[in-house]
A and B are shown apart, each in its own frame.
Chain A
Amino acid sequence: MTSTTEILRETAARLLASGAVEMVIGFRQGTIPMMNEPCFVRKPAEAGLLVWDSHCGINLANYVTDRKEKKIGIVAKGCDSRNLVTHILENKIRREQLVVIGVPCRGMADKRKIAMKCPGEILRVHETETAITAEGEGFTRTFEKADVLQHNCSLCTHRNPVIHDELAGEPVEEQQGVDRYADVRAVEAMSPEQRWKYFEDLLAPCIRCYACRNACPLCYCPTCFVDESRPQWVGKGQDPVDVRTFHFLRAYHCAGRCTDCGACERACPVGINMRLFTKKLEKDCLELFGWEAGLSLEVRPALDHYRPNDPNDFIR
């Protein structure tokens, strides 16, 4: 069996050697368990750096924003490819600049979930197609991969890249009959007071590091609204009003664009599930406009295109 890693290395070396691309963006082996680092390679001899496993959760579309190279190879799982589509539609990169090396994806591991299921510090992790084994001092734990996926991955219905020029492996079966929005419905069912309290607790640990914003490929504004100083829209401290303003507005800026890649939640150092906000908007887009972001280069996104049959019940 040829592993995804081997295919990626072979593909990258071939593309670089033939001059089809100037660089390939992918992942290299991380320095701690369950972390890989986004990297680039420019020479065929460096292609051996590239790896692929269940710890490649960061969305690589983030790394092509406004890049000037004429040809860039980029490794893309399903969600990354959807964000590449969104990037292309939003003129952050041109399709002809990209050679998309698609990776059919079986989901990324949730390192916190695995850590919480282990009795000590995890020192080594290895995996098969369906299982992940974590080892530490005096313990070995093997998990079904399906049980330790990132939450967004367990709900993913677009595991195969939607655009690709190369494909590193056979397409995988898409998950069917997934209930994507049970968590959003639970929040919708709350009374306004309950919901307010729920959001307050959800955001209480936030340290305003902006890892969620910066890990997101959609957040590419030259100056984010939270960084505007003339005028200043939002305070920079720990005041809950300011923390909420940041999170709510960030989510609204992602409406109709978010692919639920999970990079925000994964990046958060204090474990906040801010995906709840973007998922609510994703659900609204699906229900109101039948829209899922990043699936097609041919159709303009729901929120940047007027159609006569757009729902308008909210106008009273």
Chain B
Amino acid sequence: MRMLLIDRRAWQEGLKRAAGQYGLIGPVKEKEFHSFRPLKPGEMPDLAFQNSRLSPKHVVYPQTEPMFAYTLDEAREDRHLLKEVRREIPPRAVVGIRPCDAKAFVLVRLNFDTPDVQDPYWLRAYEATTFIGLGCNAPCSSCFCTTAGCGPFHEEGLDLLLADLGEAFAAKVLTPKGEAFARTAGWTAEAPAGAQSAFQERARAAEGRITSFVQTDHLKSIPVNDLYNAPFWEEVSFSCINCGTCTYSCPTCWCFDIQDETRGKSGVRLRLWDSCMYPLFTLHGSGHNPRGTKLHRVRQRFMHKLKYFVEKYDRGIQCVGCGRCVRLCPVNIDIRRVCNMMNGFAVSGEACAIP
């Protein structure tokens, strides 16, 4: 696999050149936090960050997205007909995305791109995007990617993976899309052997710096009803306030709602992020709610990520270990703790002690 060397000057000039053909999206610090947004002409991504506050999933999957438009004007022939709102997405590149967030798109794709159904909105946006990852030299203490099917230099879902070597980047070209971007940027210098080994060294060192782990080896084999009926859910869910912070900050949460919004005689049908933490998420038209209590809802979130997903896809857990929900939960519900409780439940066959 080809590896390039990009010094600081080539980096800046390359991005400027690439901006002619790609819409560039990158991490930018606004007020306290970094977030991913389209870069203004000439603006450079700010790579001095551990990870963005919220995940960059909105780049492919906006929180609010018009799907159809319609008119209620009775005088018009096309009244009451839903017409697709096509979001034209010219080629673009997310520069500086962390490997966990890129891997998350691969997991989310399992839901939006199936043999039976292909979601055109999600897929068009995903396919138009080149993912230029930045390996994590200094992962957070709450990152647990290496035991969540990912890692600080994980390559899945990326087109190009950069290692910050200080004076330059070493860039591993992973796909033809990555190759095309490098060519457009004018990054052609092959990395010498020293830079190649420095890349490997950074990757190894970063993995060694991960201090937080989850155990997932028993999740698949534990009978689903045993976990569902496990006695720890009251204790786990007690502190939950049922806000959507965990699900909205999560790069792998994909659930959505559909809403019609009408103003005057015209309207749009929107797709909006939704959250299994909200009572409305499962409220039936009859008024019955099958997940009527917060215990139901908290259990659902963890069961979906750590059990149902594992069984359905056999691709590990629906989590990449980015740690955002751990850091942002207002009441400190920690998926690492819950994952280990669930995984440990199989072994003991009874309630785990509260650590």
Contact = CB atoms under 8 A, between A and B. Distances in A.
Interface in A121-143: 121, 123
B294 to A, nearest CB: 10
Contact of B249 (A213, A237, A266, A269): A269
Interface in B49-74: 50, 53-54, 63-64
A269 B241 contact: no
B332 interface: yes
Contact of A121 (B50, B261, B332, B336): B50
A121 B138 CA distance: 10
A69 interface: no
A215 B54 CA distance: 20
Contacts of A210: 243-244, 278
A215 B241 contact: yes
Contact of B239 (A38, A123, A205, A229): A38
A121 B242 CA distance: 28
Contacts of A207: 54, 63, 244, 248
Given A211-B245, A215-B243, A267-B243, A227 B330 contact: no
A32 interface: yes
A310 B157 CA distance: 65
Interface in A4-44: 30-32, 35-40
Contact of B272 (A37, A236, A267): A236
Given A31-B326, A227-B278, A235 B239 contact: no
A28 B259 CA distance: 40
Given A38-B331, A121-B50, A235 B259 contact: yes
B261 A37 contact: no
B286 interface: no
B64 A121 contact: no
Interface string A166-199: 0000000000000000000000000000000000
B168 interface: no
A199 B33 CA distance: 19
B246 to A, nearest CB: 9
Contacts of B270: 237
Contacts of B244: 207-211
B44 interface: no
Contact of A271 (B31, B50, B243, B279): B31
A37 B239 contact: yes
B332 A227 contact: no
Contacts of B275: 209
A37 B332 contact: yes
B32 A269 contact: no
Contact of A214 (B32, B140, B243): B243
A8 B138 CA distance: 39
Contacts of B330: 58, 211, 215, 266-267, 269
Nearest to A230: B285
Interface in B212-267: 235, 238-239, 241-245, 248-249, 257, 259, 261
Contacts of A214: 241-243
B170 to A, nearest CB: 24
B301 interface: no
B243 A123 contact: no
B239 A31 contact: no
A300 interface: no
A197 to B, nearest CB: 16
Contacts of A116: 32
A235 B248 contact: no
25 contacts: A31-B326, A31-B332, A32-B141, A35-B332, A36-B332, A37-B333, A39-B235, A40-B238, A46-B354, A49-B354, A58-B239, A63-B238, A121-B141, A123-B141, A207-B54, A214-B241, A214-B242, A215-B243, A215-B331, A237-B63, A237-B64, A237-B261, A269-B248, A270-B33, A271-B33
Interface of B: 31-33, 50, 53-54, 63-64, 138, 140-142, 235, 238-239, 241-245, 248-249, 257, 259, 261, 270, 272, 275, 278-280, 283, 326-334, 336-337, 354
Interface of A: 30-32, 35-40, 46, 49, 58, 62-63, 112, 116, 121, 123, 205, 207-211, 213-215, 223, 227, 229, 235-239, 266-267, 269-271
Given A227-B280, A271-B33, 18 more contacts: A30-B332, A31-B332, A31-B334, A31-B336, A31-B337, A32-B326, A35-B332, A37-B331, A58-B330, A63-B239, A207-B244, A208-B63, A210-B243, A227-B278, A237-B64, A239-B64, A267-B330, A271-B32
